[in-house]
Amino acid sequence: MSTPHTLIRPFRDGDGVAFRDLNLAWIRQHWTPEAGDWASLGNPEEKILAPGGAIFMAEVEGEVKGCCALMHHGGGRFELAKMAVDPSAQGLGLGAALGEAIIAEAQARGGQMLFLESNTVLKPAMGLYARLGFQEVPIEHAAYDRCNIMMERPL
């Protein structure tokens, strides 16, 4: 059995639709998209990239199958956000590779702390975040109603 060719790369022109659609798929599986979702997914260049963030895309055999954003919050704080992997590509390690790319990018940008907000119903994501070194902390201010857990890791 051969392993499919995968690539983690920075966001580029034309990736906005895939970034939006991958995220809306997982959000709609459990919840209703919120105003914050529409803002960042509708214009990632302005809402994520321009303020000092980054987005990475995961390709399998040349087709976009995953994504993850790094949002800059100032003061050495960054957020891992909007991670999504198409169900057809789950189990290939794309989530881990995207998470590692986000961690490395936050470190390269001089970050001191990386946090995320999620929901414990997303069991595979919870396991991935723990493997990436995130630990639960008290929720300071959840950006989304669906968030019931905040996690962070030093960089």
- Predicted confidence pLDDT, tens digits, the chain (155 residues): 567 899 999 999 999 999 999 999 999 999 999 999 999 999 999 999 999 999 999 999 999 999 999 999 999 999 999 999 999 999 999 999 999 999 999 999 999 999 999 999 999 999 999 999 999 999 988 999 999 999 999 99
Output the DSSP codes for 71-113: EEEETTEEEEEEEEE-GGGTTSSHHHHHHHHHHHHHHHTT-SE
Q: Which domains does the chain have, with CATH numbers?
A: 6-112 (3.40.630.30)
Chain centroid, CA 45 distance in Å: 15
- pTM, two decimal places: 0.96
CA dist 42 and 136 (Å) reads 29
